[in-house]
Amino acid sequence: MNTFLKLAVVKVKGEQSDIVDESIITEYPLKLYVNDKEFNTFYCTPKDLKELAVGYLMSCGVLSGKQDILSIEVLEKKNLVKMQVAEQVTSPLKEPLEKPIVIKIQTIYQIMGKNLKPTELFLETGGFHSVAIYNGDQEVITIMDVARHNAVDKVIGYCVMNDIDCRDKILVVSGRMSSDMILKAEKGNIPVVLSKSAPTSLSISRADEAGITLVGFVRGEQMNVYTHPNRIDLGEETFRAIVKKKRTNYLRNSFLYLRS
């Protein structure tokens, strides 16, 4: 199924109007059945549907990894994805975000610049959200969807299905960060989340509790670091300022790049 279609619209510029064929995003209703029971209905871009289902079930706690998936089948013409999963999922790691990772500031700027670069699909329709997983400055996967929550589920599902360990990876989001999106990152064992836009107060609180480094308003060479700055190489001077102003409770040994 195509990700967009052409529809005739009346296009108005100033006082002039014309009838033109406009590219419209395809919004595809998809029902998810888990162990033969209806579980959810998505409204999504009709691509990467297996990844969407897997990532969504990870965020719901139905799956803890690829090993819990018994079978998955997409029936595109019926708008249906059917999954069989283990009745008892394996226990997730108790401390999934402890794998060391330190990111340079310029790497963050470069990553967001790549993620926000308009794709042909976005230029055609102007309505897709872009979400990516990065390993350092290397792109692992980028997926676009009509809904940013779907796009997050899809990249996490891709990592699960391809046995990619996300404990040292970066989630890059083109839109606003809400608390449920931080929950998805937590369930996916992703320690760093970057967004070009604003986080909500609850997303900051959840990221802090989960041990996730949350960075927002990454635009050009500016950004706000809201939680757990120890994963970003902010330098000795900034560390001293943090301690002096007592805005956080982070100790020196939390800043990996400052360890002797």
123-160 pLDDT, tens digit per residue, is 554 567 889 999 999 999 999 888 889 999 999 999 99
pLDDT of residue 260: 42
Domains of the chain from N-terminus onward: 28-85 (3.10.20.10), 103-258 (3.40.140.10)
pLDDT of residue 251: 46
Q: What is the C-alpha separation between 225 and 179, in angstroms, rounded?
A: 16
The 10 Å Cβ neighbour count of residue 17 is: 10
Per-residue pLDDT band for 92 (boundaries 50, 70, 90) equals: low
Contact between 102 and 231 (Cβ < 8 Å): yes
Q: How far is CA 140 from CA 46, 131, 159, 249, in A?
A: 21, 11, 9, 33
pLDDT of residue 253: 45
Q: What is the C-alpha separation between 41 and 210, in angstroms, rounded?
A: 28
Report, as an integer, the average pLDDT of 45-49: 92
Give per-residue pLDDT as tens, 48-82.
999 999 999 999 999 989 999 999 999 988 999 99
Name the average pLDDT for the chain.
Answer: 85
pLDDT of residue 62: 93
pTM of the model as a whole: 0.84
Give per-residue pLDDT as tens, 190-244.
999 999 889 999 999 999 999 999 999 998 899 999 998 889 988 777 766 666 6
Backbone angles phi, psi at 226, to 5 degrees: -95, -35
